[in-house]
Amino acid sequence: MFPLGSVLFPNTVLPLRVFEPRYQALVDDCVAGDGRFGVVLIERGSEVGGGDTRFEIGTIAHIAGVADLEDGHRLILAVGIGRFEISRWLPDDPYPRAVVNELTEEMTESSQLPIAETERKLRRTLALMSEAGYDVGDTGFELSDEDVASTNQLCALAPLSPLDAQDLLGAESPPERLARLQALLDEEIAVLQQQLQTG
């Protein structure tokens, strides 16, 4: 388990700089095994040093690449491949570990996800943020052609707090996740428009 101060969604990429000895050991064990580890959001505490409290729903990540740096640190590139729920935490020695249950993405065949509409709202949000002076980075993103993957990508691209992102990750299905994201974007658009109108 790799507790972090941010949320990883399935179908998205996570670059990590690994320097703590316990997480160096985690990377060694993952590379020697199937390359998978869990990412969970820290509820209270810090990424460094342990002693943190963690949320119960997280994302399975797969190590896609590892680079050793001259200072002894490592850069790893991980890809989110699914979700899990913590069944039970194990001792943190030699690094955080847990027993988990993998979660499936339930979606009926008749579900029509409003991907295009949500993408428009996200692009509108980012445009308003830019107009208001916020640094929104590169907005030239492209989404997957697959509905579940594009839903997760939209969540990852949205300017959300870690708690809002965790709420989306915990949604039981892609339609519910997308509906919650749309509601958050609608709220953000209304706030930004008000800010711009009042100067």
Q: Please tell me the predicted confidence (pLDDT) of residue 108.
A: 56
Structure token digits, residue 8: 């990883």
- How sure is the predictor about 117, in pLDDT bands with cuts at 50, 70 and 90? very high
Helices (H), 77-173: 115-131, 147-157, 162-169
- The Cα 175–Cα 115 span in angstroms is 10
Q: In angstroms, rounded to a whole number, what is the distance separating the alpha carbons of residues 63 and 80? A: 9
What pLDDT is stored for residue 61 in this prediction?
Answer: 97
Mean pLDDT of 107-128: 85
Q: Please tell me the predicted confidence (pLDDT) of residue 98.
A: 96
190: alpha, beta or left, given left = phi > 0 and alpha = psi -120 to 50? alpha
pLDDT tens, position by position, 27-62: 999 999 999 999 999 987 665 555 668 899 999 999
- Domains of the chain by start residue, with CATH: 2-103 (2.30.130.40), 115-198 (no CATH)
The three-class DSSP label of residue 2 is strand
What predicted TM-score, i.e. pTM, was given to this entire model? 0.90
What is the predicted pLDDT for the residue at 107?
Answer: 64
Q: pLDDT tens digits, residue range 70-90?
A: 888 999 999 999 999 999 999
What letters, b where the CB count within 10 A reaches 16 and e where it falls short, cover 46-64?
eeeeeebebbbbbbbbebe
Give the whole-angstrom CA distance, residue 166 versus residue 6: 9
Q: What is the pLDDT of residue 113?
A: 85
DSSP code per residue over 61-85: EEEEEEEE-TTS-EEEEEEEEEEEE
* Confidence at residue 84, expressed as pLDDT on a 0 to 100 scale: 97
